[in-house]
Amino acid sequence: VSTCVAKDLTMTYERLFAGPAAEVRRQWGELEAEAKRGTAVLLLGLPLPVSTSTEEQVAEGARHAEMPQSDAELASVAKLLLKHGVSVQKAGLIAAQLTGQPVERAHEVVKPLALRGGHSNRADASPHSDQADGAAKLSNPQLPASNCSRTLHLINLGRYSTEEEVTAALDQLGVHGELSLAETHLGGRIAFLRFASPEEASRARNAINLGDLRLGGQRPVVAGWARRDRWLS
């Protein structure tokens, strides 16, 4: 039986809906408008058996003999969660709940995915590759070819985070770079963090995405690769 799971990732309380897609949409549609505002819903089409298609059983991560035991399925769910800005620790827990696999095994699968430098997430503003660097260099010869490789784009900072607060939080993770804050068109905060080398930027990206860092928002800060032209001098 194909079961649709909707996971709210941003609200103060986290609610997990599970069941046929039409039923999940109906439940979500009945929420008050204020509860929906600014939220992100993750939909997963997973082949879960009928016996685990209730909210309570899925939320508890109930295990059943007929549940799929493939690491590939774990990885597929984890990649989607990471892409939507879920912290590594929480992604492992949710992936275990949705697939019925042990939490320990889920974390073993999730952590390498988060550490891969090429793994894309919601904070990535541009591809991170030598080819992309070369193309940008041709379009603007004045820009260093390595800028994209050494500049991070941070999201989920919270509306009122200051440069001092962001710097102090990054210091706790051992991350030190040239920081610049900006406002989004929605009035939120984003940051750009530039380092001396691509290697240093990659290490910082991993540290931030594994650190479950929260700054005034309910979602963890996510670090991705920035576009050169968005750096604020």
Sheet with 3-8: list strands edge to edge: 16-19, 3-8, 41-46
Q: How confident is the model at residue 155 (pLDDT cuts 50, 70, 90)?
A: confident
Q: Identify whether 120 is part of a domain.
A: no
In 3-state terms, what secondary structure has residue 85? Answer: coil
Q: What is the distance between the alpha carbons of residues 232 and 218, in angstroms, rounded to a whole number?
A: 26
- Please report where in the chains the tokens 């500049």 appear, as a residue: 151
Higher pLDDT, 3 or 169: 169
Q: Where are the alpha helices (DSSP H) in the chain?
A: 21-29, 33-36, 55-59, 71-83, 88-99, 103-115, 130-139, 147-150, 163-172, 198-210
What token pair was written down for 195?
């380092």
Among 80, 115, 150, which residue terminates a domain?
115
**What average pLDDT does the segment 194-223 reach?**
85
Q: What pLDDT was estimated at residue 64? A: 36
- Is the pLDDT at 30 greater than 90, yes or no? no
Let me know whether 93 and 174 are in one domain. no
**What average pLDDT does the segment 210-226 reach?**
82
**What average pLDDT does the segment 33-41 reach?**
46
- Please report where in the chains the tokens 């939220």 appear, as a residue: 39
pLDDT digits (tens, 9 = 90+) for 129-149: 443 444 444 344 444 444 557
Let me know whether 139 and 207 are in one domain. yes
Q: What is the CATH number of the domain that holds 226?
A: 3.30.70.330
Let me know whether 23 and 94 are in one domain. yes
Q: Identify whether 220 is part of a domain.
A: yes
Domain count of the fold of the chain: 2
- Are 55 and 17 within 8 A, CB to CB? yes
Q: What pLDDT was estimated at residue 177? A: 92
Q: What pLDDT was estimated at residue 15? A: 54
What token pair was written down for 229?
């032209």
For residue 60, what are the domain limits? 3-115
